[in-house]
Structure 1
Amino acid sequence: MILNPEKIRRALFLLPGPYVYEDRCQSYIGKGSFFRYREPVEEMYAAGVLGDLGVTCRIVHAAPERLSKGGIEKIIGAFAPDMVVISSTYPGHVQDLAWAEKIRKILPRAMIITRGGHMGFIDRQDLLKRFSALDGVIRGETEFTLRDFFQSNDKRIPSGFTLRHGDAFEETPDPGLDNDITALPFPARRLLNHRLYRSPVTARPMATISANRGCCHRCVFCPAHKVSGAAVRLRSPESLVREIRECREHWGIRDFFMRGETFTASRTWLKDLCRELKKQAPGVRWLCNARADALDSELAGLMKSAGLCGVSMGAESPDADTLALIRKDLCFEDVRKAVAACRSHGIMTMVYFLMGFLWETREDIVCNIAKAGTLKSDVTEFFFPYPLPGAELYETAKALGLINDRAPLPWSQQAPVFIPQGLSARELMQLRARARRNPAQNIRAARAVLRQATGAREIAAVMTHGFFTAANALLRA
């Protein structure tokens, strides 16, 4: 293994499976899934940091590139990196990390490590024992952990590493979080094929912009406050707009996803961003996530004027008792008002619900599905709660013996881990399929997408690449 950063001149980042490889969102993307592939932001930032330090990088995003096993191996052999970083998700890590053995056969001396949002909360030494071709695990925010490794001036390994030394292991302390995310170099977007990542609303190539990090909320099903910190770290609006302008001028990208665990956390910051967008980047269109209790008509109107075309909100449940139990700190009426505010300004709404908590009955679930329909959101999607490491729900699932770190259920929120008394996994899947097979809902979604289209060419693109493909998947579910 090459452990000296001075000898690592080429690094390859491999995303091998059909997942969203983000620290918080580790969703499975398969047949019938609403989710689409997004730019791999963590890997792009890490490649940007290493590029500034003189390391030549490559990103291999196997699933959207439709690469076969042989195709991936050919790329690795031809590029011949000194270091390979395998991205992994918790639900897919068994399949992801099987690649370590394949890579070791191609690159006997390379440093092979893995990253992922779950790595700070599982038994890393057990992981290294199970995957003997792996040299180490990194945790924390990948770009900062790798930056510290490459900038270390002595032989000590910086925070955030678990390394194998023969039959022994070395584990350094947990890394802290860097507050100045504005100072990071722009992501290495030049390493990607931009046509692979399209807006679900406009079907045009879409870039993902990291707007802020951190979440002050404590929802039991979400690890965001552990993975990204409980304090919200805001990137300057000027930096965001510079990156957007670079995307537009260098690659012709005009559609964006503003990524942030709590994008609407600061009203002042968001207003400043909208003003900068209107002044410096008119004509762009963007999507974002938002908390429903932070959205009103004034803010929705301002965001619309700055290019917002679609917003996603996690309602989780219409039931007040369930919202209290999962510590969502939200009420269903907040969601109703936010949807109405967005619709009044022509903003497409996408609202997500969770079903299948242990205390729910069949009658509860059927009632919640009916109540969700009363929102008349353009898109209403249902998922199962999945116990990601770092979330309180993970500890609950472990205590009940419902999940095994060595073989977690690989379909993430698409299949149930928790089975309420009186129901079976099959019945839960049938209830979800029935909720998603809603003709009125899918017609509403199709109309909302068509309203966003600006001409015949864009309508044709939406029909073949955009949300219509997802709508068809919902109808087939």
Structure 2
Amino acid sequence: MPTEVLLINPPDFKSKYKKYFNIRAPPLGIAYIAAVLEENHVDVEIMDCAAEDIGYKEMERLVGELDPFLVGVTATTPLIPEALRSVEVVDDSCNAYTVLGGPHPTFMHEDILQNNNSVDFIVKGEGEYTVLDLYRTLREGGDLSNVEGIVYRSGGLVVENKERELVKDLDSLPYPARHLLPIDEYVVFDERMSITTMICSRGCPMQCSFCASSALHGKKIRKRSPKNVVDEMEYVKNNLDVSTIAFMDDTFTLLPEWVERFCNELKERDLDIGWGCTARVDKADKELIELMREAGCHTIFIGVESGNQEILDRVKKGTSTNQVRNIFDTANDVGMRTVASLAIGLPGETKETVEKSIEFVKEIKANYALFSVATPYPGTEFYKKVKGVGEMQEDWGRYDLFSPVVETTELTYDEIKKLQKQAFKEFYLRPTYVIKNLIDEGIPFYKVMKAILKQSMKQ
């Protein structure tokens, strides 16, 4: 029997995170869409090509067998070439309507529809109820102009419908349809782990010029209730044998009072489940971090961005290097594993500021550091500024955080790449650092080191 809706996470054969670190995480966006479809009695399947290493020939065969009515493909900026190729394969394999969604199509919808005839519709922003509405309208032969949140072609023109309201009550959403995902295929550093991803919030009021979160999910943060989140944690532990949760919120600690209530709820239930999250340095004091540690948090991912205050101010980060030092001191004191994320090549960057950032991240004693190339993603203020003066490359496949696509006034593409490699080597090849972490972390650290060095040594 033909499938009504097929949702595809496109192939990923080039992502540096997959290639070098072998990190394969569940695609929460399409899993939420699938859950809403199922809740409304729509037959749906998920094809996670990235996790299962499904290529285009295999995709063509599988799509032909499923013979879906509607196919949705999700797309980030670096994987938009693969997403568009996937839509072409679908178009050649069956007579399904094709839909493209995700961050990149949300901001680049007109360009995509003008240049890709295989794409019938684009879903902007949060897609759960837009996809459901579009499916019903197509099945019933309804008026497409009434479907909020879609962009499509009509009479040779690109038509953009009214935007759909954001989901106000996140507790009303069903849990992601993880039962449709290849759970056993999700790995971290080659290790199959009993881990899954979750979100507690959408939206962000912060003004960071390099981030598109507020443009995608709105400037007002919407939170699930602590009880609803812990209920889901309990569900995945009992039903999927999950022992670790990775919270994917842009800033998990943005509302400290919410975090306190969440941690207390988690402690009361005594779930014995580990978790990691993002933290903003001005939104987590010593008491909060200690409470998080007591509630099972073992890892925090912190957007340091730069060790230079002037650059932090330029990108509207709204934090100080002193606040960064304080949160790392506290996390280290309570035994929390820390991951510092920095961007090389932000506006105003020089060789000297990069070297200062490298020294800074050593000084704060981060357990791990990720040095990304500053990348102007569509939807960000960063993108609009460099786009306006024509100073960037728009080869979307290079927007992978490892390939420079925009120069600074003092650094060329090649210099930015060399400085990124220098940062990885200087941070990870310190003898005292290697010895300490091999003792503390053992095999997991060895695998991280192997992946990092493989990437940093690559020419």
CA contact (8 A) 1:315 1:351 kept: yes
Partner of residue 456, structure 1: none
Any residues of structure 2 matched to 1:289-438 within 5 Å, and which? 289-403=278-392, 407-438=395-426
3-state SS of 1:38 partner: coil
Partner Cα separation in structure 1 for residue 135 and residue 12 of structure 2: 30
Partner of residue 470, structure 1: 451
Partner Cα separation in structure 1 for residue 49 and residue 265 of structure 2: 36
Instruction: Quote the offset at 1:12 in angstroms.
Output: 1.2
Partner Cα separation in structure 2 for residue 237 and residue 41 of structure 1: 19
Partner Cα separation in structure 1 for residue 340 and residue 206 of structure 2: 19
Instruction: Quote the offset at 1:276 in angstroms.
Output: 1.5
Instruction: Quote the offset at 1:201 in angstroms.
Output: 12
User: Does residue 139 in structure 1 map to residue 141 in structure 2?
Assistant: no
Gaps in structure 1 of 5+ consecutive residues: 1-7, 21-26, 453-458
More helix by share: 2
C-alpha offsets along residues 97-153 of structure 1, whole Å, 9 cap, x if unaligned? 02222211111x21101001133322x233112111111111020113223435669
CA contact (8 A) 2:11 2:54 kept: no
Instruction: Quote the offset at 1:19 in angstroms.
Output: 8.8
Counterparts in 2 of 1:416 and 1:444: CA distance versus 1, 3 Å? same
Partner Cα separation in structure 2 for residue 448 and residue 327 of structure 1: 34
Partner Cα separation in structure 2 for residue 164 and residue 429 of structure 1: 40
3-state SS of 2:71 partner: strand
Any residues of structure 2 matched to 1:140-159 within 5 Å, and which? 140-150=125-135, 155-156=143-144, 157-159=146-148
User: Does residue 41 in structure 1 map to residue 28 in structure 2?
Assistant: yes
Output the amino acid matched with 2:27.
P
3-state SS of 2:198 partner: strand
CA contact (8 A) 1:19 1:29 kept: no
Partner of residue 4, structure 1: none
Residue of structure 2 aligned with 1:114, choices 86, 100, 117:
100
Q: How many residues are paired up?
A: 453
Amino-acid identity (%): 25
CA contact (8 A) 2:101 2:122 kept: yes
Any residues of structure 2 matched to 1:24-423 within 5 Å, and which? 29-32=17-20, 36-107=23-94, 109-122=95-108, 124-150=109-135, 155-156=143-144, 157-165=146-154, 167-198=156-187, 204-403=193-392, 407-423=395-411
CA contact (8 A) 2:302 2:341 kept: yes
3-state SS of 1:190 partner: helix
Partner Cα separation in structure 1 for residue 82 and residue 274 of structure 2: 36
Partner Cα separation in structure 2 for residue 314 and residue 19 of structure 1: 27
3-state SS of 1:333 partner: helix
Partner Cα separation in structure 2 for residue 333 and residue 81 of structure 1: 55
CA contact (8 A) 1:12 1:81 kept: yes
Output the amino acid matched with 2:130.
T
Instruction: Quote the offset at 1:216 in angstroms.
Output: 0.9
Structure with larger RCO (C-alpha < 8 A, sep 6+): 1
C-alpha offsets along residues 284-333 of structure 1, whole Å, 9 cap, x if unaligned? 01110010112222111111111111000001111111111110000011
3-state SS of 1:393 partner: helix
Partner Cα separation in structure 2 for residue 28 and residue 192 of structure 1: 22
Instruction: Quote the offset at 1:226 in angstroms.
Output: 1.1
CA contact (8 A) 1:201 1:310 kept: no
Root-mean-square deviation (Å): 2.7
Partner Cα separation in structure 2 for residue 444 and residue 420 of structure 1: 31
Partner Cα separation in structure 1 for residue 277 and residue 356 of structure 2: 29
3-state SS of 1:390 partner: coil
Give the TM-score of the pair, scaled to structure 2.
Answer: 0.91
C-alpha offsets along residues 442-461 of structure 1, whole Å, 9 cap, x if unaligned? 97478558646xxxxxx66x
Counterparts in 2 of 1:220 and 1:319: CA distance versus 1, 3 Å? same
Instruction: Quote the offset at 1:463 in angstroms.
Output: 7.1
Instruction: Quote the offset at 1:168 in angstroms.
Output: 3.8
3-state SS of 1:289 partner: strand
Partner Cα separation in structure 2 for residue 315 and residue 444 of structure 1: 20
CA contact (8 A) 1:164 1:170 kept: yes
Partner Cα separation in structure 1 for residue 123 and residue 153 of structure 2: 12
